[in-house]
A and B are shown apart, each in its own frame.
Chain A
Amino acid sequence: MFGKRKRQSLYPFQGKQMLEIDSSSYAPTETDLTQVEDGTLVKVIELRGGPTFIAKLDAMEIVPGTILKKKTSTLRRGPLVIERGKHQLALGYKMAQKIIVEPQEQDK
């Protein structure tokens, strides 16, 4: 990282070009469960955790492809409540951060 910066300052007129290259190497924005609004319907895309984490979620039928609704969050990084059908589950903030989701079309 420092290396890149140094080069940027040595070749100022190439700075713009390097910035362009840099920006294209940024990862596409991913949303995890803590980042969507309360009440959003989402689809699970990826679970970023170890085998115990995945097994726990699997037992609750939270696997890639599952559709669920983010019900509520608590103040200051407390547990989140999600809903599938009429069943609710609360899970810790850190766990929710490892669940990558994609918002879906909201229906009633």
Chain B
Amino acid sequence: MKKILMISNPNVGKSLLFSRITGKGSVSANYAGTTVKAETGKFKYNNREYKLIDCPGIYSLDEETSGAKELLQLIDDSDIIINVVDATNLERNLNLTLQLLQLQKPTVVCLNFWDDTTHYGITIDVPRLEQILGVPVVPVSALHNQGIPKLLDSLEEASTSNLSYSAEDHWKEIGAIIHQVQTLEHRHHTLTERISDLTLHPVGGVIFAIGVLLATLIIVRFMGEGMINYILEPFYFDVYAPYILNLASNISSDLIRSLLVGTSLDPLETFGILTSGLYIALVLVFPYFFSFYLIFGILEDVGYLPRLAVLLDNIFHRLGLHGYSSIPIMLGLGCKVPALLSTRILNNEREKILTIALILMSAPCLPQTAMIISLGMNYSIAVVLFIFAVLLVVAVATNVAINKILPGTTEEFFSEIPAYRRPSVALMGKKLWGRMVEYFAEVAPMIVIGVLLMSLLDYLHVIEFLTKTIQKPVELVLGLPAEIAPIILLGFLRKDVSIALLPPLQLSAQQFIVASVFLVLYSPCIAAFFTMLKELGLKTQLKLVFLIFFIALGVSSFLHMMFTLLF
């Protein structure tokens, strides 16, 4: 079976092409750096089986470029190379092409975005280009699924090239080739270009960004709550729960029954994996996960994210972060789980840790935020603002501190700003579907396992014991009534519910502030906890979790002390 390697500059449609050829879903979006690791797939064509490998884009095989060495090894291992080229940016893409041709591997050049060349007034003489390069050149539109059979046909004709060129003057040589094969018509500024200028404007861009952020949060909130209230909760309480509880009543063993369905009708009171586990994973977390990814997918494919990263890069650098970290953090305002998953786009470990710290501490997830606002308003708007101000200060201070402690520096911003594109609804739908499948395959099981653990601990009376032990310290250090102890433990399962359980405690405004700050900071929710584990590995994660817990304790007790002294 022949091994085919797809190589190209970032953001030229390689992943979508991969997806079209292998039928395997692949995440693609309109910014450089979407694909973070190599993906393999198989396909059959003309009665031949092939193995296809998609890897992250690269601009040059220059040894100074990061990733070049690994890629050269991959190339060594492969039989055929498909060099995907952005037909609307032929000049820059040819740099990599010429370097690849020097490696003397059978190659085929694929001109993607062929449909866009007419829009941009670009004409390319394909036969002439083929002649010059010495390898098959096939125009393709991965988006519209055109030209792909011809591409696959050409695989058997992949050849090595006789083209030699002087590496010293490579841009001059490329310029000469372009001159022979490409003609450009003059175009007027298009509407998308004007919009792009606005969104990058130092002042206008920031205002636009705030607008986008607010709109996103509002839409996600409505969608998330709508799904919970009108679809999922009715489903759970009216259809699923009665059915499963009925089935479970046939189980004789008390232990097994309580592990499976808990001991109460309220899924948040006890820990049954089939009840609470499902309830948390499907009814509580999933709607926000889904809604956020829906909006995010649109922003991604339109191409807005790199512009946002540019605007925020400056501020982020003071926190030791990179502009691209703005994407995970924006997601974190909705739900921490997609935020943590998206830290994969960051290049190095250091940035990842700093970003995750900021995600966990900077702001509560949307359900929790909503709960704090609705309950806090009962006291006063000042209470609400004060809580969020404290959280922001703590997050920034923590990040500045971690930044100083962790060795290394943040890279300077350096990224292509892609043109705005009208996203394809079909593609976005496919991507959303893929992400939801990933949720149910990876995240939901982790939640269920967590619930199982809690259930076992509950059965072994460990939870009761813990609640009794922390009662006194909590009263002393945080100034909160003893009844808050079980709420703190519950908050691990679901953060907003823990806030919702505060009213019966009749807290004063100061107590509410201390309680809210503590409940937001002390621990990530169970879903986020296990997602973090996957992204960071056990050691780093535990360090971070303990650090954050102590900061939560420290800040809350400080606030408590301050309030006692002042009032």
Binding site for B on A (CB under 8 A): 51-52, 54-56, 58-61, 63, 66, 71-79, 81, 86-95
Known A58-B60, A78-B310, A87-B89; 20 more pairs at CB < 8 Å: A51-B64, A60-B59, A61-B91, A71-B200, A72-B200, A72-B202, A74-B205, A75-B202, A78-B311, A78-B313, A86-B120, A86-B193, A87-B92, A87-B416, A88-B196, A89-B414, A89-B415, A89-B416, A90-B413, A91-B413
Contact check, A78 vs B314: say whether CB atoms are below 8 A apart.
yes
Contact check, A73 vs B202: say whether CB atoms are below 8 A apart.
yes
Contact check, B201 vs A72: say whether CB atoms are below 8 A apart.
yes
CB distance from B526 to the nearest CB of A (A): 38
B417 at the interface (CB under 8 A from A): yes
Q: Nearest 8 A-B pairs (CB), nearest first?
A: A92-B412, A78-B314, A59-B59, A55-B64, A59-B60, A88-B417, A79-B413, A92-B413
Q: How far is the CA of A26 from the CA of B531 in the complex (A)?
A: 59
Q: What mask results when residues 34 to 72 of chain B are scored 1 for a CB within 8 Å of chain A, else 0? A: 000000000000000000000000011010110000000
Find chain A residues with CB under 8 A from B205 CB: 74
Q: How far is the CA of A94 from the CA of B206 in the complex (A)?
A: 22
CB distance from A63 to the nearest CB of B (A): 6
Find chain B residues with CB under 8 A from A71 CB: 197, 200
Contact check, A91 vs B412: say whether CB atoms are below 8 A apart.
yes
Find chain B residues with CB under 8 A from A75 CB: 202-203, 206, 314
Find chain A residues with CB under 8 A from B415 CB: 89-90
Contact check, A59 vs B62: say whether CB atoms are below 8 A apart.
yes
CB distance from A72 to the nearest CB of B (A): 5
Find chain A residues with CB under 8 A from B65 CB: 55-56, 59
18 A-B pairs in the complex with CB atoms less than 8 angstroms apart: A58-B60, A58-B171, A72-B200, A72-B201, A75-B203, A79-B310, A79-B413, A89-B414, A89-B416, A90-B310, A90-B415, A91-B412, A91-B414, A92-B313, A92-B412, A92-B413, A93-B412, A95-B412
Find chain A residues with CB under 8 A from B59 CB: 59-60
Q: How far is the CA of A56 from the CA of B484 in the complex (A)?
A: 55
Q: Which residue of B lies closest to A54 (CB)?
A: B64
CB contacts under 8 Å to A, within B189-203, are 193, 196-197, 200-203
Find chain A residues with CB under 8 A from B64 CB: 51-52, 54-56
Q: What mask results when residues 297 to 314 of chain B are scored 1 for a CB within 8 Å of chain A, else 0? A: 000000000100111011
Q: Which residue of A lies closest to B187 (CB)?
A: A86
Binding site for A on B (CB under 8 A): 59-60, 62, 64-65, 89, 91-92, 95, 120, 171, 193, 196-197, 200-203, 205-206, 306, 309-311, 313-314, 323, 412-417, 419
Q: How far is the CA of A6 from the CA of B323 in the complex (A)?
A: 49
Find chain B residues with CB under 8 A from A73 CB: 202
Q: Which residue of A lies closest to B312 (CB)?
A: A78
Which of B120, B196, B206, B414 has the most CB atoms of chain A within a 10 A radius of its CB? B414
Question: Residue A74 contacts which of B92, B197, B310, B417 (CB distance < 8 angstroms)?
Answer: B310
Find chain A residues with CB under 8 A from B62 CB: 55, 58-59
Find chain B residues with CB under 8 A from A58 CB: 60, 62, 171
Q: How far is the CA of A29 from the CA of B66 in the complex (A)?
A: 35
Q: How far is the CA of A94 from the CA of B306 in the complex (A)?
A: 19
Q: Which residue of A lies closest to B309 (CB)?
A: A90
Find chain B residues with CB under 8 A from A56 CB: 64-65, 414
Decide: A77 near B314, CB < 8 A? Known: A55-B60, A63-B171.
yes
Contact check, B92 vs A61: say whether CB atoms are below 8 A apart.
yes
CB distance from B352 to the nearest CB of A (A): 19
Contact check, B419 vs A60: say whether CB atoms are below 8 A apart.
no
CB distance from A51 to the nearest CB of B (A): 5
CB distance from A106 to the nearest CB of B (A): 16
Q: Which residue of B lies closest to A50 (CB)?
A: B64
Find chain A residues with CB under 8 A from B171 CB: 58, 61, 63, 66
Contact check, B310 vs A81: say whether CB atoms are below 8 A apart.
yes
Q: How far is the CA of A71 from the CA of B310 in the complex (A)?
A: 13
Q: How far is the CA of A41 from the CA of B323 in the complex (A)?
A: 26
Q: Which residue of B lies closest to A94 (CB)?
A: B412
Question: Residue B416 contacts which of A63, A66, A88, A94 (CB distance < 8 angstroms)?
Answer: A88
Q: How far is the CA of A65 from the CA of B171 in the complex (A)?
A: 10
Find chain A residues with CB under 8 A from B313 CB: 74, 78-79, 92
Q: Which residue of B lies closest to A78 (CB)?
A: B314
Find chain B residues with CB under 8 A from A91 CB: 412-414
Find chain A residues with CB under 8 A from B417 CB: 81, 88-90
Find chain A residues with CB under 8 A from B314 CB: 74-79
Q: How far is the CA of A87 from the CA of B59 in the complex (A)?
A: 14
Q: How far is the CA of A4 from the CA of B305 in the complex (A)?
A: 54
Find chain A residues with CB under 8 A from B202 CB: 72-75, 78
Find chain B residues with CB under 8 A from A78 CB: 202, 310-311, 313-314
Decide: A90 near B120, CB < 8 A? Known: A61-B91, A61-B92.
no
Find chain B residues with CB under 8 A from A61 CB: 91-92, 95, 171
Find chain B residues with CB under 8 A from A81 CB: 200, 310, 417
CB distance from A52 to the nearest CB of B (A): 5
Q: How far is the CA of A38 from the CA of B166 in the complex (A)?
A: 35
Q: Which residue of B lies closest to A79 (CB)?
A: B413
Q: Which residue of A lies closest to B306 (CB)?
A: A90
Find chain A residues with CB under 8 A from B414 CB: 56, 89-92, 95
Q: How far is the CA of A14 from the CA of B323 in the complex (A)?
A: 55
Q: Which residue of B lies closest to A89 (CB)?
A: B416
Which of B59, B64, B89, B311 has the most CB atoms of chain A within a 10 A radius of its CB? B64
Find chain A residues with CB under 8 A from B193 CB: 86
Find chain A residues with CB under 8 A from B412 CB: 91-95
